Amino acid sequence: MAQVPSDYFDAERAWLILREACSTIHVSPSGGELIRLGENAVFWLSSRTVVARVGRGDARAAEAEREIKVARWLAGSSVPAVRPLEIAQPLRVGDHFVTLWESVGDEISYGTPAELASLLRQLHALEPPADIALPRADPFRRARCCLANATVLADEDKLFISDLLDRLAARYARLEFSLRPGVVHGDANVCNVFRDRRGRPVLGDLDTVAVGPRELDLVPAAVYYDRLGWHSAGEYREFAESYGFDVLDWPGYGLLANALEIEMVTWLAQNADQDDKAGQELAKRVRTLRTGASRAAWAPFLWHQHD
């Protein structure tokens, strides 16, 4: 198989990788549509009946294989979640790994905070699978990986953010948790809850599933309400009531909220050179990190195919 040239990761490169992966199986890449670009490039294929996820070049085979195993484990459990195609996967193209999934719907429709809480409650009730080596949850790993890919950040900003992460990580090591640790999603926000063709919510983006403090999965909804204003007071109340625990009342919330904000900044930074609006949003987020100003002006941001 020909090697895809080593280059920075963008939608065009991801599409070339996907086409090469599809050439090895009986799935046509024709009519592919970019859904979003983040840690993975996500595409619709086959008249939106298949979803393909193309990982960045630093993805590891073990991580992609684990995501497939987790999805198949959840398919046999009580947790509604996305399902991989019944083929041998992940598919490898150079340093990249591609996974293929059954599309849950013909359009992207996200769930509500209360539906997210219900799915998390079901996920958290499971015992870790004996035959899958789930990693230990690390609320700083993703930010560090994204920071390494953030070529648009000035060196002084990278050093500033790296120092923030180091200080938070030192405090995190001494944190006391209220909930029993167990299986966690690791990226629990409403953008990872999708409605299927019958309108039912299912859990997606399973590459971050791990074992660790369950509070980690409750912090995003709280931050979206408490600091960003992306969830209303009513939506957050329904989330906390549906789950049965209000993480805002937990003393460690502020530390994990700070860690999540940094992750949101670094996630945006890794692709900000491809979009002017993303670059402007990134500058705003870095400025508020440095000054301690309100995060209320942060705008939600997903890369998608432009019309």
Token pair of 121, please? 């409650």
The pLDDT assigned to 62 comes to 79
Round to whole Å and give the CA distance between 189 and 191: 5
Token pair of 105, please? 């719907």
Round to whole Å and give the CA distance between 195 and 116: 11
3-state secondary structure at position 50? strand
pLDDT tens digits for range 235-293: 999 999 999 999 999 999 999 999 999 999 999 998 788 778 889 999 999 999 999 99
Query: What number is the average pLDDT over the span 17-35?
Result: 88
The pLDDT assigned to 275 comes to 78
C-alpha R_g of the chain: 19
Residue 7: pLDDT over 60:
no
Backbone angles phi, psi at 200, to 5 degrees: -90, 140
The pLDDT assigned to 18 comes to 94
Residue 304's pLDDT band (cuts 50, 70, 90)? very low
Query: What number is the average pLDDT over the span 40-58?
Result: 88
Residue 35: pLDDT over 50:
yes
pLDDT tens digits for range 52-105: 999 887 657 778 899 999 999 999 998 999 999 999 999 999 889 999 999 999
Question: What are residue 182's DSSP bridge partners?
Answer: 212
- In terms of Cβ atoms closer than 10 Å to its own Cβ (0-12, 13-18, 19+), residue 144 is middle
Q: Is the model more confident about 6 or about 207?
A: 207
Residue 5: pLDDT over 60:
no
Instruction: Provide the whole-model pTM.
Output: 0.91
Query: What number is the average pLDDT over the span 109-122?
Result: 97
Tokens 């070339």: give the residue: 16
Backbone angles phi, psi at 32, to 5 degrees: -65, 140
Round to whole Å and give the CA distance between 31 and 14: 15
Is the distance from CB of 215 to CB of 178 less than 8 angstroms?
Answer: yes
The stretches of the chain forming alpha helices (DSSP H) are: 11-22, 61-75, 113-124, 141-149, 155-172, 215-226, 233-243, 253-269, 276-291
The H helix count followed by the E strand count for the chain is: 9, 9
Average pLDDT of the chain to the nearest whole number:
91
Residue 132: pLDDT over 60:
yes
Rounded alpha-carbon distances, angstroms, from residue 50 to 1, 31, 58, 106: 23, 11, 24, 10
Query: What number is the average pLDDT over the span 44-56?
Result: 90
pLDDT tens digits for range 156-200: 999 999 999 999 999 999 999 999 999 999 999 999 999 999 999
Query: What number is the average pLDDT over the span 139-155?
Result: 92
Backbone dihedral region for residue 292 (phi beyond 0: left; psi -120 to 50: alpha; all else: beta) = left
Query: What number is the average pLDDT over the span 128-154?
Result: 93
Round to whole Å and give the CA distance between 136 and 73: 18
Query: What number is the average pLDDT over the span 33-52?
Result: 89
